[in-house]
Amino acid sequence: MAKLGYNQNFNPLSLIILTNKIFDITILTELKYINPTEINAYNQNVLLEDDLVFKALLALDLRVNRVAWNDTDFDWGTTKYALFRTTWDYFKRIEAFNDWIKNTSRLTTFINSVSLIEWNIDKHYLQDLRRKGIHIPKTLFIEPKENLSLLQAIQKGKEELQFNSDEFVLKPCIAAGARHTYKFHYSDWEKYNDVFQELVLHEAMILQEFQKSIVDDGEISMMLFNGQFTHAVVKKAKKGDFRVQDDYGGTVDLYKATKEQITFVEEVIKACQEKPVYARVDIFEDNEGKLALAELEIFEPELWFRLYPEAAKLFATTIKERMLS
C-alpha cells in the first residue's frame, strides 16, 4: 500500500505565487486513521479505501495529501479542495466540528459543499425529501421542546402516521455508526424511556417502525458520482441483530441493482438542493412492500471501493471534471 501523504513529484518551489495553493485535494480523515499503531481488519479497510482514492487522484496529475480534519498544524489555506472521506468521529464533538467547518470553509472549498453537508448531517433532511415525493418509511421526528415520553411518542406516531407495527427503532437525528440506535417492542417501551428522555432533552430523535426486510433481505447501498449510479452492495445483519454495519458483525457483498432501484436512487439525487459530487443512497423494501429510502449519505459515506476498485477511478474523474476543470 502506498504511503498516504503528498505527491512526491510535486515541487512547492514551482508554485505560481498568485494561487498560493500547494495541494489540489486534501483527503479528510480522523486522527486515529493517520499512521495507526494497531492495524486490525477495520483499520485496514479504511486505509485501503483511502489509498484507492489517493492513487486515483494522483493518476490524474493532481496534488494530493491526507490529514485529520482537526489537525491544528495543517494550513487549510494551502489546499484548493477538502474531500470528506473518513471523518467518522465528528458526531462525538459536533460543536467543535461545526466550528471547524465554519472556519475552514473560509480558506478552502469542501467536497461536497458546505450547504449539502450541513443539510445532510441532520436526518431532518428526510422530511425535505419526503415533501419532494421521495418515499421514506413512516418516521416520527421528536423535538426536544415536545416533552414527550416514549409511550406518548409511539401514540403520536400511531395517530399521525398510522404506525402499524409493535416493533420500533429509535435513534438520534444526528448520529453515525448506529450510535444510540435501539430496536424495541411496544411492550418494552418503559425499558427505553429513560434513555430516550435523557437524549431528547438535548437532541431531536427519530422513531420509526421496524422494517422486517432489513433483517430478512438486508439493506442495499447504492453509490452515485455526479448523479450517475456506479455500483451497489447489500448489507446484512448477523443472526440475532438488526444493525447491518460491519462494526456489529454485519456482512457486505456486491449487489446487482435492478432498473427500478437505479431509477429510485437517481430520483433521490435529483431531489437534493444541489447535485452532490458523490453520494450513497441506502434503500430497502418497507413493510408495505414499497421501495423506500433509509438514508442518503453525502457527507462522509463508506463507498466500498474495496469491493469495486474501478469506482475509485470514476470518483477521481468526477472530482477533476466538476471541481478542477
Beta-bridge mates of residue 234: 220, 253
User: DSSP letter at 259?
Assistant: H
**Above pLDDT 70, what percent of the chain?**
88
pLDDT over threshold 80, residue 20: no
User: DSSP letter at 201?
Assistant: T
Close Cβ partners of 45 (under 8 Å, ≥ 6 residues apart): 306
What's the confidence (pLDDT) of residue 73?
94
Q: Where are the alpha helices (DSSP H) in 145-280?
A: 150-161, 189-200, 212-216, 259-270
pLDDT over threshold 60, residue 292: yes
Place of cell 460491519: 246
Torsion angle in degrees (nearest 10) through CA of 63, 314, 87, 62: 0
168 and 151 in contact (C-beta within 8 Å)? no
What's the confidence (pLDDT) of residue 2?
41
The number of C-alpha atoms within 13 Å of 37 and in the hemisphere containing its C-beta is 0
User: DSSP letter at 168?
Assistant: E
pLDDT digits (tens, 9 = 90+) for 63-72: 999 999 999 9
pLDDT band of 1, cuts 50, 70, 90: very low
275 phi/psi in degrees, rounded to 5 = -75, 120
User: DSSP letter at 277?
Assistant: S
What's the confidence (pLDDT) of residue 216?
82
pLDDT digits (tens, 9 = 90+) for 200-247: 998 999 999 998 888 888 899 999 999 999 999 999 876 655 555 555
220 and 226 in contact (C-beta within 8 Å)? no
Name the more confident of 172 and 245.
172
What's the confidence (pLDDT) of residue 241?
57
User: DSSP letter at 258?
Assistant: -
132 and 271 in contact (C-beta within 8 Å)? yes
**Residue type present at position 145:** K
Q: Which residues of 159-191 are buried (b: 16+ CB within 10 A; e: fewer)?
A: eeeebebeebbbbbbebbebeebbbbeeeebee
Average of per-residue pLDDT across 244-267: 84
Q: Domains along the chain?
A: 12-111 (3.40.50), 139-210 (3.30.1490), 213-308 (3.30.470.20)
User: DSSP letter at 194?
Assistant: H
- Taking the mean position of all CA atoms in its chain, how far away is CA 184? 25
